[in-house]
Amino acid sequence: MNDSAVDLPATEELESRVALALEHAAATGATQAEASVGASRGLTVSVRKGEVESLEFQQDRDLGITVYIGQQKGNSSTGDLSDAGIRTAVEAALAIARATGADPCNGLADAALMAHEFPDLQLDHPWDLAAESAIDLARACEAAALAVDSRITGSEGASVNTHRGRSIYMNSHGFVGRRCSTHHSLSCAVIASDGKGMQRDYWYSSVRRPQDLMAVDALGAKAGQRALRRLGAQRLSTRSAPVLFPPELARGLWGHLVGAISGRALYRKASFLLDKLEQPVCAAGVTVEQRPFIPCGAGSAAFDSEGVATRERTLVEDGVLKGWLLGSYSARKLGLASTGNAGGVFNLLVSPGSEDFDALVRRMGTGLIVTELLGHGVNLVTGDYSRGAAGLWVENGQIAYAVEELTIAANLADMFRNIIAVGADVDPFPNVRTGSVLIEGMTIAGN
């Protein structure tokens, strides 16, 4: 790639930087240490109304170091990867550690839990994309959206992004973890107008392999069609009705579940699922699994951010909660062992049903398809859920008209238990793979 995201520093060069940080930490008083270095390159192009709005080349390098003096902890980071820059960062971390109190839960993850097997997860798929070609793709995508209908009267633009990064994580157990991965995306947002009002909508595609991106003309057309279907949006009177979350919004629901079973929320007693292990938390038939070794997976990884081996896990089985998501610190706070989830969950798969989206709409009969969520009204302590929303109102199993200026509300505990069905319409590319989720009886507040 001429100026793009392909070329990165060699693995050996980056490893030497991390090794220097660990060596200097050990020589200057650290009893344990861990460090990581990352280098990345990227290209982002944005086009609006056929004109280039922005063209950015990104190139970054940074190193982070965490040191322990007994159970005192300090960390620092630097973009200066010279020997002197790294030594300065290590000494800053040591100074912070000496100034902090000891915490009995501090320290590296247990050495016995470190990953020893590193399968090829096929995460690295560089795209040799010149800036001129990226501009052409963005223009074609926007043009496809504008061509959908004469009522597409405005554009917020189309963007193309390609990114490649390499990282090394090492700790004083002797663990070395290497990772090189890519991320490519395409997006488009347009405005529809019918003389009575204006509506905006968008679509996007985000993948590891460039050949998996949605075709630019199809993506643009979908963005335009989504904007058109929002024209003539009405308001609803307040009522209780089923709500259908399409996959791109259902992922957020499962994100709330992940947050509620993660270590930080648990040891702080800030989760509505506290003490719910081995109890039903979802509707019968709902199974949620972690699968970290999927080739090309958005969340695939052989080790977590502490070097602990990841593993396949069933988190919810037939509605019953089977496990927590813990890093080493939260595990010690809870008197448990790390589950290899420092840094999050690695490919969350929600078991799909047999019905596609249209079948779920027919099954719902009368209710709301959510197409947009607004605000941040989710309380993981109580489970209270209240979000601004827009969408499509369904009657007799058919979309009747667009709706807007709504609030949908319920409690997450009830929402998960009241799942009627999970669809077969699974997007295979995100970290959370789920079909549409149909939930019974949420409050829809309107007029």
3-state SS of 252-312 is HHHHHHHHHCEHHHHHCCCCCCCCCCCCECCCCCCCEEECCCCCCCCCCCCECCCCEECCC
444 and 417: one domain? yes
A 10 A CB-CB count for 172 gives 19
Q: Which are the contacts of 115, defined by CB distance < 8 A and separation ≥ 6?
A: 175, 177, 302, 303, 307, 308, 309, 310
DSSP three-state, residue 15: helix
> End of a domain among 173, 197, 228?
228
The reply to whether 6 falls in a domain is no
In the chain, the percentage of residues whose pLDDT exceeds 70 is 99
For the record, the structure tokens of 3 come out as 């100026």
Residue 160 has pLDDT above 60, yes or no: yes
pTM for this predicted structure: 0.94
251 and 162: one domain? no
For position 181, what pLDDT does the model report? 98
Rounded Cα distance, 72 and 97, in Å: 5
Neighbour order of strands in the sheet with 72-78: 72-78, 51-69, 32-48, 152-171, 176-193, 198-207
176 and 208: one domain? yes
390 and 250: one domain? yes
How much is the mean pLDDT over the chain?
A: 96
The average pLDDT across 266-280 equals 97
Rounded Cα distance, 440 and 43, in Å: 44
The reply to whether 3 falls in a domain is no
The average pLDDT across 416-445 equals 97
Q: Which are the contacts of 145, defined by CB distance < 8 A and separation ≥ 6?
A: 152, 155, 158, 188, 190, 220, 221, 223, 224, 227
Q: Are 347 and 434 in contact (CB under 8 A)?
A: no
Nearest to 443 by CA among 397, 415, 407: 407
- Give the confidence band of 3 by pLDDT, cuts at 50, 70, 90: very low
Residue 119 has pLDDT above 80, yes or no: yes
266 and 353: one domain? yes
For position 7, what pLDDT does the model report? 81
309 and 378: one domain? yes
The reply to whether 5 falls in a domain is no
For position 2, what pLDDT does the model report? 39
pLDDT in tens, 375-425: 889 999 999 999 999 999 999 999 999 999 999 999 999 999 999 999 999
- Give the confidence band of 196 by pLDDT, cuts at 50, 70, 90: confident
Rounded Cα distance, 429 and 16, in Å: 34
Structural domain span for residue 260: 233-447
The average pLDDT across 237-263 equals 98
The average pLDDT across 271-300 equals 98
Q: Are 281 and 320 in contact (CB under 8 A)?
A: yes
pLDDT in tens, 5-62: 458 999 999 999 999 999 999 999 999 999 999 999 999 999 999 999 999 999 999 9
Rounded (10°) CA dihedral 290, 291, 293, 297: -90
Q: Are 288 and 258 in contact (CB under 8 A)?
A: no
Nearest to 186 by CA among 217, 213, 166: 213
The number of domains in the chain is: 2
> End of a domain among 185, 210, 228?
228
